Amino acid sequence: MSSRRDVLKAIGAPALAGALPVRFVETEPKVSRMPAEGKDTPKICLGFWGPVDETGMRRVKQIGVDYVLTGGPKIPWSEADVRTRIEQFKAGGLTLCNMMISGFDDVIWGRPGADAQTADVITSIRAAGRARLPVAEYNFYANRLMEGYKEETGRAGAGYTAYDYELSRNLPPKDGVGPHTRAEQLERARRFLKAVVPEAEKANVRLALHPNDPPVPLSRGSEQLMATIEHWKEYLSLVESPFNGMTFDCGVTREMGEDPVAVCRYLGERDRINHVHFRNVVVRQPYVDYTEVFLDDGQVDLFGVMRELVRQKYPRAIYPEHPRALDVDRERGSIRNQYPGGGGFAGEIYNVGYTRAMLQAALTL
């Protein structure tokens, strides 16, 4: 009888010899990169508020951000105004994706100069279109009740931004502004949009209205135009067009007690999201009492929002805003932030890293 060793010699060695190359091919690791932003994905951006210099642009590029937004010049814009800003950022490898347009308070407050300012906005949108700026963001506040913001101490002493309506609810109307009803503001918005949106369509410049933030019921005697989801829907119905869109703000949505994922789905499926603000909050009482916290530590399902944006193939900017105040920023000197408890560039680095992880995770599903 042949030994076991003899059998292996006779049949095993040739079989193994034939199998080995196949095994090595099958188990060889694939070399790949992490998912990246593309044509049909959200584009992480940061606000650029200081001088457009090489140092500032370089530090944004170092953390993987290729898109920026900024405030616009005084209206009416010229093509040269817009193109100069675009080219300044392009020289640093950055794309200007959004510019804030303002300076039409007569429209918002119903003053005699409203028609002239509407014409200036139209001129500006045409200029933006010729320069190929994709989005113009704007506000339509009768008054923004900033006086209710206060600083809170967050984890390990980090700065948080809280809002308490009781600090400001009884403030009187400002001189020269007066009180305004929502019905008055809605009619002004209707006239404004009917004049401006067709021009935005022709210029291929999407308009992104930021909702009321804070979304309190009354702001120095004025009712709010965009303080509830039903208000948002009504505003968007004034002119049915993707160019009459919104800045979808996850934080504001939750501050109103709404589900940001569901609202993102509603707006996105109607192609009305023209910009995104990505932040988190803890709400104690909707509309009037809440705290802005780190992205990882609030009541907004930010991964759910990101998955929804990726599912929709949302292709425009997403801004991880309102960084928290960290010691590393405090130690570098005074933090320039309009919100008490707001942070600087170290806080923005944290926000970008978290947002990038959410985006890459969503892109792998």
Check residue 51 and give its pLDDT.
87
Check residue 146 and give its pLDDT.
95
Check residue 144 and give its pLDDT.
95
Q: Are 97 and 171 in contact (CB under 8 A)?
A: no
Going by C-alpha positions, the residue among 64, 62, 61 that lies closest to residue 35 is: 64
Give the integer Cα–Cα distance in Å for 98 and 119: 21
Name the band, by pLDDT with cuts 50, 70 and 90, for residue 32. Answer: confident
Given a cut of 70, whether residue 336 has pLDDT beyond it is yes
Give the tens place of pLDDT for each residue, 91-142: 999 999 999 999 999 999 999 999 999 999 999 999 999 999 999 999 999 9
Q: What percentage of the chain has pLDDT greater than the value 70?
A: 92
Given a cut of 70, whether residue 5 has pLDDT beyond it is no
Q: Order of strands, edge to edge, in the sheet holding 280-285? A: 149-153, 159-164, 289-293, 280-285
Stretch (H or E) spanning 352:
helix 345-363
Given a cut of 50, whether residue 152 has pLDDT beyond it is yes
Name the band, by pLDDT with cuts 50, 70 and 90, for residue 1. Answer: very low
Please give the backbone phi and psi of residue 14, each rounded to the nearest 5 degrees, phi first. Answer: -60, -40
Give the tens place of pLDDT for each residue, 264-286: 999 999 999 999 999 999 999 99
Going by C-alpha positions, the residue among 203, 42, 187, 28 that lies closest to residue 109 is: 187
Give the integer Cα–Cα distance in Å for 198 and 201: 5
Given a cut of 90, whether residue 14 has pLDDT beyond it is no
| Dihedral sign of CA atoms 12, 13, 19, 25 in order | positive
Check residue 206 and give its pLDDT.
98
Is the N-terminal amide bond of 214 cis, ω within 30° of 0? yes
67-71/95-100 β-pairing: parallel
| Dihedral sign of CA atoms 128, 57, 68, 62 in order | positive
Stretch (H or E) spanning 108:
helix 105-109
Q: Are 297 and 324 in contact (CB under 8 A)?
A: no
- Beta-carbon count within 10 A of 85 CB: 22
Helices (H) and strands (E) in the chain, counts: 13, 14
